[in-house]
Chains A and B, each alone.
Chain A
Amino acid sequence: MDNTPGNYKRKLNIPWLFEMAWRDSRRNRSRLFLFISSIIFGIAALVAIYSFGFNLKKDVDNQAATLIGSDLAIYSNKPVNPPMQHLIDSLGDRRSQEKSFASMILFPKSGGTRLVQIRALQGEFPYYGSLETTPVSAGTAFKKGKMALVDQTLMLQFNVKVNDSIKVGNVTFLIAGTLNKAPGQTNVASNIAPIVYIPMQYLDQTNLLEKGSRINYNFYYKYDHKVDINKLTKKLEPRLDKAGLNYDTIDTKKENTGRAFGDLTRFLSLVGFIALLLGCVGVASAIHIYVREKIASIAIMRCLGVKAYEAFLIYLIQITGIGLLGSVIGAVLGSVVQHLMPLIFKDFLPISISTDTSWMAIAQGVLLGVIISILFALLPLIAIRNISPLNTLRISYENLNLLRDPLRWFVYLLIVAFIITFTYFQLDNWLASVFFTIGIFIAFLVLTLIAKLLMYLVKIFIKSSWSYLWRQGFANLYRPNNQTVILIVSIGLSTAFICTLFFIQSMLVKQVALSASANQANMILFDIQNKQEKDVADITRTHHLPVIQQVPVVTIRLDKINGKTEADLQKDTSLKFNKYVFANEYRVTYRDTLTVTEKLTDGDWVGHATKKGEVPISVEERWAKHNHLKVGDHLTFNVQGMQVATKINSIRVVNWNKMQTNFLVVFPKGVIDDAPQFHVLLTHVPTKAASAKFQQDVVKKFPNISMIDLGFILSVLDDLMNKLGDIISFMAMFSIITGVVVLIASVRISKYQRIQESVLLRTMGASRKQILAITGIEYFFLGALSAATGILIAFAGSWLLAKYSFDIPFNANMLPALLLFLGIGILTILIGLFNSRGILNKPPLEILRRDV
């Protein structure tokens, strides 16, 4: 051998490194697998979501035509003017028209009433796909007579059958069939606003198209000859835009639906990614302990001549292999779980989703799993480079501080860069990705700080007067090599997810239910015509119900703001109005006083005015802020064809949470009092029976009037929250399972660490019961602290959401939180005790021998 220092290079023997990695893993494989199993459920979540996303995109592409039902659809929320009507009538080889609006229907057989979405249809629509009905023939047959298709939820709810009848306005229709699915309709939408199809030719007879009613006009076209629809719509677009009409083609529908669901799957994948990150933190913690245990072996290898980077590579290969195995198992699990996704999301999907295995999703999941397990394992692994061979002679304290390597900052940087990049691929926005990463970091930091604080409190809380069992059980929470922080982070975050969901759901439902109390309004009657106003009030009083409020509503549009029109807004980007400010229709009222839910924040209230000069109006604060409007600004409204010049005289803050009619714009009395209008009446119904009886009576006498009662809103809200809750719980499940796996892994790791101590205790005469008690106390408090941290965070999160997002009083339901707390506490004890049974059931000597 050449003795000069420059010639000590040895060729890297890659096969030998693999062989050593394989050999070294032999006695640890189950443990290594346990470490890496923390990422399995995160990978499974992502692969399931990716597969779902790929299938969704494919299915949207394949089924886009049935979503729209035609080659071209044009939509308007106001009657089309004659020149536009001329254009509309000139399009397509075949055309259909549909008018849709909300209205009450009556089931004469039972007397039941319900607010539904009426769709009056003329023509062969849909040209692609079909109105899915039972019997199948009803989908086309209903147009031939006075027949209707009724949504299946309504049929079930009111226990009606095909060939029974329903009354829509003044006309009674025979139910030709049950409507199972309309083109593009989701279950959620049909639950909130169930559809009833009727033939257009009977619409006038229903007398439902009174002025003021909100009607949507839809036109559907089919081209039998070859037409470039995109070229056609590009040509039509300026005219349609000018007239305030929207359109859809198969391609735009494909694009919009694809984008909407793309956003959904990207959002879900971020949730899945959090589960994966939780698992990775678990992996890093486990590998850290693994490396500590390997110090002696690594030192021996170094003694025998293994170089620092070779030792590092041996364990990197091991972790990569196990990471690959974990990722593959996660990907396989994800491919199985993806079969559940269409079931979980079925109510929110307008199309049927296939569950084909997506190799792309599997490849992405496996790649992601391997990269992230390596990245997080690198933190403890880089410390291997610094393990001195001197440890064979004596374990040095300095070498035990594995995390003091300056290279760890580079690894942190890699991890942050990876999270930002991954998030960018989901969000397509660097800034949002950085904020998401910061959010994750803060969440982890907060959880870690809370964990540290709790550990500190436990430490100072322990009294020397306590029995040994309690002191030992508690001390295990903060002594060296404890798993408290990692468990509080993983279980705490999962608990926070679930608990926030429970809190918000209960707060929203409670808030709606609260407004039903006492004499507050819990039923709204709208679309009351001028001539019906008095009669409706009378019928309300006949039913011994109070007329809490009766308000006129005028539908108007905004033409100018300070002389600027919609065209100016499009040209001048410096104008700060909301882009929909001119497109929207406004339902306004006129009155001479403020209501109890309103308070002036600026300007003066004017209750009366004349048509001469500018009309002093009052606008709602948030709307004004959103459109950069202030007192003194000039708004010109189009009131049913007549230009009315107004000036903002006051700005009001409105409490929208009360069930009451509230308005963005309020006119003074004396200006629009004679404009075409409808009225809204608010009352309070004391019971369900009284509500049903009242609704029947009103619908029978005034079929055009629509009614919403709070019971209905509550049931819809509850249903919607339950469905959303299912999805959130499903996603949170991955985090929870990851938390449980991390818990099991941590318990197993601590079992190896504490085996000597427990054996020593048993050797010194501790009974099985005493060891059991120490373990039980430790794990109960570990679970309890984790759950308490999650619940604390859920409290804070729900409070913030309630205050800033929902604007409702914070009023958390503690029962689910308590159940969650107990559940997690008990689960942690069970896992802890189950995993410690080896120490408890076997003689000390056997364990000592086995674990030499």
Chain B
Amino acid sequence: METILNITNLGKTYNSAGKTLAVLDNINFSVIAGSTNAIVGPSGSGKTTLLGLCAGLDRSSTGIVELNGIKLGELSEDQRAQVRNQHVGFIFQNFQLLPTLTALENVMVPLELRGEKNIKTRSLDLLDKVGLADRGHHYPAQLSGGEQQRVSLARAFSNQPKILFADEPTGNLDAETSEKVVKLIFDLNREAGTTLVLVTHDLDLAAKTQRIIRIKGGKVVSDDKTILNA
């Protein structure tokens, strides 16, 4: 089985008011390509920081993050940006759509950055898959929370990422909408064969993944690979 993400001895510290604060300490795990994984833990446990480091949004203080064979710690921020554009998709709790771009344009951006052709048709197809084919010309402010998250999903899959990182993807949605969005995430993930790493404290959502990594106080306290190994 191919490993898409390999975390070795990962640590992250912050300096605040002259004191060093360790947010993550000696984290080790690997993620198998095409698998679905959840990182769970209470508020302040360091799960969002871990996601940020895995996705190359930040540099670790110690340890190695290897994404698709690329050691992110050796890259500059601009090089990491290119890695993200090539291999990574994101879904955020607060959707993080560009407010000045229409839904369609938001989906198109990753493809435009890659300089790809026929992106409009492909982006419209993706919007169609998330049920928003007719809302492409709407701005984020004109969409409901659920609709915004669906646009965010379409955008996340637009560059056909090898790995998708989701940070509390249902955190800002009601139960009914959450269910629909979760279904979409898993359906699209299955269809595209993408690896999914989601951060949540919703245990029901985490239970839908093949593997649950629990962290507390910046350390991995359990790594349940039951379903994955089954």
Contacts and interface: CB of A to CB of B under 8 A. Distances in A.
Given A306-B81, A393-B167, A388 B100 contact: no
Interface residues of B, number: 41
Nearest to B113: A305
Contact of B115 (A11, A388, A389): A11
B77 interface: yes
A393 B81 contact: no
Contact of B51 (A304, A306, A393): A393
B100 A305 contact: no
A297 interface: yes
Given A305-B110, A850-B141, A24 B74 contact: no
A547 B155 CA distance: 99
Interface string A21-43: 00111111000000000000000
Number of chain A interface residues as a range? 35 or more
Interface string B15-43: 00000000000000000000000000000
A157 to B, nearest CB: 66
A414 B77 CA distance: 27
A105 to B, nearest CB: 75
Nearest to A391: B57
A308 B82 CA distance: 11
A473 B98 CA distance: 34
Contacts of A390: 52, 57-58
A389 B58 CA distance: 8
A308 B78 CA distance: 6
Contacts of A388: 57-58, 77
A299 B98 CA distance: 10
B112 A305 contact: no
A20 B112 CA distance: 10
A302 B81 contact: yes
A309 interface: yes
Interface stretch (A2-10, A618-626, A671-679): A2-10
A396 to B, nearest CB: 9
Interface stretch (B89-97, B124-132, B184-192, B210-218): B89-97
Given A27-B100, A309-B78, A852-B140, A389 B84 contact: yes
Interface in B70-124: 70, 74-79, 81-87, 90, 92, 96-101, 105, 109-110, 112-115
Given A303-B84, A388-B58, A852-B140, A24 B90 contact: no
Contacts of A303: 57, 84, 90, 96
Contacts of A10: 82, 113, 115
A307 B70 contact: no
A29 to B, nearest CB: 10
A308 B77 contact: yes
Contact of A13 (B57, B58, B115): B115
A13 B82 CA distance: 14
B48 interface: yes
Listed residue (A300, A305, A388) with the most chain B CB atoms within 10 angstroms of its CB: A305
A815 interface: no
Given A303-B90, A394-B48, A5 B99 contact: no
A5 B70 CA distance: 8
Contacts of B114: 305
B81 A389 contact: yes
Contacts of B167: 393
Nearest to B90: A303
A24 B106 CA distance: 11
B156 to A, nearest CB: 10
B57 A301 contact: no
A8 B52 contact: no
B96 A306 contact: no
A228 B74 CA distance: 80
A306 B109 CA distance: 9
Contact of B84 (A23, A299, A305): A305
B70 A297 contact: no
Contact of A393 (B48, B69, B70, B86): B48
A16 interface: yes
A303 B69 CA distance: 20
A392 B92 CA distance: 8
B68 interface: yes
Contacts of A19: 112
A305 B155 CA distance: 13
Contact of B98 (A25, A297, A308): A297
B91 to A, nearest CB: 11
A393 B92 contact: yes
Given A11-B115, A390-B52, A301 B141 contact: no
B99 A27 contact: yes
A392 B68 contact: no
A308 to B, nearest CB: 6
Contacts of B68: 3
Contacts of A301: 98, 109
A307 B48 contact: no
B29 to A, nearest CB: 20
Contacts of B87: 1
Contacts of B78: 8, 307-309
A849 B139 CA distance: 13
A20 B98 CA distance: 11
Given A303-B90, A304-B84, A388-B57, A296 B96 contact: yes
Contacts of B70: 3, 5
A390 B87 CA distance: 17
A301 B77 CA distance: 13
B106 to A, nearest CB: 9
A405 B84 CA distance: 25
A305 B86 contact: yes
Interface string A295-323: 01101111111111100000000000000
A302 B79 CA distance: 11
Contacts of A304: 84-85, 90, 109-110, 113, 155
A300 B68 CA distance: 22
Interface string A799-827: 00000000000000000000000000000
A307 B78 CA distance: 5
Contacts of B140: 852
Nearest to B86: A1
A23 B108 CA distance: 12
A389 B140 CA distance: 20
A308 B48 CA distance: 23
B58 A307 contact: no
A305 to B, nearest CB: 2
Contacts of B112: 13, 16, 19
B82 A307 contact: yes
Interface centre among A13, A297, A299, A307 (most CB of B within 10 A): A307
Interface string A488-520: 000000000000000000000000000000000
A306 B155 CA distance: 14
B141 to A, nearest CB: 5
A539 B140 CA distance: 94
Interface in B124-165: 139-141, 155
Contacts of A305: 81-82, 84-86, 110, 113-114
A109 B140 CA distance: 86
A233 B184 CA distance: 95
B6 to A, nearest CB: 13
A394 B49 CA distance: 9
Interface of B: 48, 51-52, 57-58, 68-70, 74-79, 81-87, 90, 92, 96-101, 105, 109-110, 112-115, 139-141, 155, 167
8 contacts: A5-B70, A5-B74, A16-B113, A297-B99, A302-B81, A390-B58, A393-B52, A852-B140
Closest 7 CB pairs of A and B: A305-B85, A8-B79, A307-B78, A27-B100, A389-B57, A8-B82, A852-B141
Given A304-B113, A308-B77, 18 more contacts: A5-B79, A10-B115, A16-B113, A16-B115, A25-B100, A27-B139, A296-B96, A300-B98, A301-B98, A305-B114, A306-B113, A309-B78, A388-B77, A392-B96, A393-B52, A393-B57, A393-B167, A852-B141
